[in-house]
Structure 1
Amino acid sequence: MESNFCCLNESDDLNILISNSSERLQIERTKTLFEEIRASLNNNDEEDRSFWRPVLPWGGVYTIRAGRKAISCIPLYVKVSLKNTCTIDGFLMLLYVILRDNQTFPREVGVFLGREFVEHFLYLMDSYDYTTVKMLWILDRMSKQQYRSVIHQAALEIDLFGNEHENFTKNLKEIMSTMQESLCTNWDCQARFQEFLEKTISINPPNELPQRDPIQSAVDQFFCPKNVLCQEFGCDGLREFSQRVFSHGPPPFIILNMQMWKSEELSYVPYHLALSHYRYSLEGATLFNKEEHHYSAAFQIDGSWMHYDGLRSDNLILLNKPPELLLLSSLVYVRCSDNK
């Protein structure tokens, strides 16, 4: 076996993948997957609290036709095996629920990720073509340096082992982009005016737990103006940071990276969050199993919480209580419709 970066580098790979999936899927359906999940909540009892079919199973195998690359006239097919997909699975499930649960969000997210991508993503999820959904994300959103492949004969293996924030959150482009300006009080400072852009909302736990909600406090700290000593070489001025603002207006959803937080710091997770004068409500979370080095996700529909874990046979179940022995990896909040 030889390890190298993925060889899927033709410009039309994504178009071929999408057209192939459209030809293969002839599924008659009257409800979206989201509507099926919502309906299952009303039919669940204490003995059967799982969804009626697997959703986004771990891994996957996708067959690609080589086409003009084939040497003979007989079409050559290559099987692409996906491994360690939990680094994108949970967020793909959350993205789907968010888009289906909020009617205006597909158009808003389409501005950043592309209208065609959003349309195909929702279509593939509703068609239960989960391996193609993953290939769509890999080929359309991810940099080839973010995953590695192993080539063995005519088979290609893509390994997504790693961190879910590297594989997903950082590939959302400018959705959560924020800007903060700073000005040094020293007129002789070589970089007196500076502008800082962040594509993710990175919050760190406070050194000392505040009396009120620590997560809201950390978010406020991220957005608030502040004064610090200037770090430019030879400058003894004071650098004044402005209020941080969203670069493109309030995003439809935000993801808080919680990997640096300890369990004892998260005894309380706020259902509502205020971000730069906008109100957001908790929609979901991703969870990390340290023993298995595995990610899963939880999300709410109509006030009920469900746990998704692609490794399990019944991988979508209704929750009676939070999953045990799991660490919080991220919190996902959606913009409330009553923002003014």
Structure 2
Amino acid sequence: MNIETHRTKTLFEEIRALIKNNDDEYCSFWRPVLPWGGVYIIRAGQKAVSCIPLYVKVSLKNTCTIDGFLMLLYVILRDNHTFCREVGLFLGKQFVEYFLYLMDSYDYTTVKMLWIWDRMSKRQYRSAIHQAALEIDLFGNEHENFTKNLENLMSTIQESLCSNWCCPSRFQELLQNTINIKCSGLREFSHREFSYGPPPFIILNMQMWKSEDLSYVPYHLALSDHRYSLEGATLFNKEEHHYSAAFQIDGYWMHYDGLRTDNLILLNKPPELLLLSSLVYVRAPHN
């Protein structure tokens, strides 16, 4: 007798099935995905006298600064299997595998704790003790809390040569965030190249732009002989100081907002990219 083993669907496969089987004008995912905040319980041992387990509670606040990008990172990795190895070179293979496992297990608070403890430094968030519980507050800017920790993945290098032989730094290799030393000479720049080859995805910080200054958002970019397509974005509501995210699966756009009860909905048209925080472009297969 043959016994068939049924593999549990991943979260990505569940979302894809929702899109494929959708006939309604409005459709949302069947359960909350990455809800805002979270409570994480650490079992710390047992009391010597009462033998009652002792637990430490960690409360998370204002997690929208990492929630949207965690959702985007998951979709990118699940939709592009070859990217797991590339991203693993920067974030660690074990991190990537555990991250995907937690997302597919709907263990969202642990996903957030994984990012906070594994990728963020203590300077990037505030923590305090309240009534014997640790509170971690991620209020702030998503670029400080998330994309800053991906700089190595997207780092670039550019060589330059100054015409002035007396220049204190005639030849330079300009890395991201390098300060230039100026002199009276003319400086010739080479083409900027990615330090570790073309990354699987790139993130453009759009908060320096005003929506009225953007006549259009490019859906494709050509970088380092590779083509990148717009597959995701994060949006910022200034009045509520709140971030949400939009991403594309099989040509359909979905909107994620951790504060909503139905926090993952299918859009009947591409999102209005008026309150942009970031644009996320994914590398297309090289022909």
Q: TM-score when scaled to structure 2?
A: 0.92
8 Å contact from structure 1 (residues 290, 326) kept in 2 = no
Q: Does 1:240 align with 2:184?
A: no
Aligned-pair Cα RMSD in Å: 2.1
| Residue 308 of structure 1: aligned partner | 256
Shift of 1:94: 0.2
8 Å contact from structure 1 (residues 258, 331) kept in 2 = yes
Q: Does 1:183 align with 2:131?
A: no
Deviation readout 1:184-236 (Å, 9 max, x if unpaired): 1111111111221117xxxxxxxxxxxxxxxxxxxxxxxxxxxxxx853xx31
How far apart are the structure 2 equivalents of 1:29 and 1:266? Answer: 46
Distance 1:145 1:71, change over 3 A: farther
- Identical positions, percent: 83
Q: Specify the code of the residue in structure 1 equivalent to 2:198.
A: P
Deviation readout 1:293-327 (Å, 9 max, x if unpaired): 10000000000000000000000001123556950
Shift of 1:47: 5.1
8 Å contact from structure 2 (residues 159, 190) kept in 1 = yes
Shift of 1:334: 0.7
Q: Which moved more, 1:313-322 or 1:116-125?
A: 313-322
How far apart are the structure 2 equivalents of 1:195 and 1:71? Answer: 60
Unaligned runs of 5+ in 2: 1-5
Q: Does 1:260 align with 2:208?
A: yes
* Pairing partner for 2:110 from 132, 153, 159: 132
How far apart are the structure 2 equivalents of 1:305 and 1:325? Answer: 12
* Pairing partner for 2:30 from 46, 52, 58: 52
How many residues matched? 280
Shift of 1:160: 0.2
Shift of 1:239: 1.5
8 Å contact from structure 2 (residues 235, 273) kept in 1 = no
Unaligned runs of 5+ in 1: 1-27, 200-229
| Residue 155 of structure 1: aligned partner | 133
How far apart are the structure 2 equivalents of 1:29 and 1:94? Answer: 24
Q: Does 1:335 align with 2:286?
A: no
* Pairing partner for 2:199 from 248, 251, 268: 251
8 Å contact from structure 2 (residues 246, 254) kept in 1 = yes
Q: TM-score when scaled to structure 1?
A: 0.78
How far apart are the structure 2 equivalents of 1:71 and 1:160? Answer: 35
The structure in which a higher percent of residues are strand is 2
8 Å contact from structure 1 (residues 289, 326) kept in 2 = no
| Residue 4 of structure 1: aligned partner | none
| Residue 77 of structure 1: aligned partner | 55
| Residue 41 of structure 2: aligned partner | 63
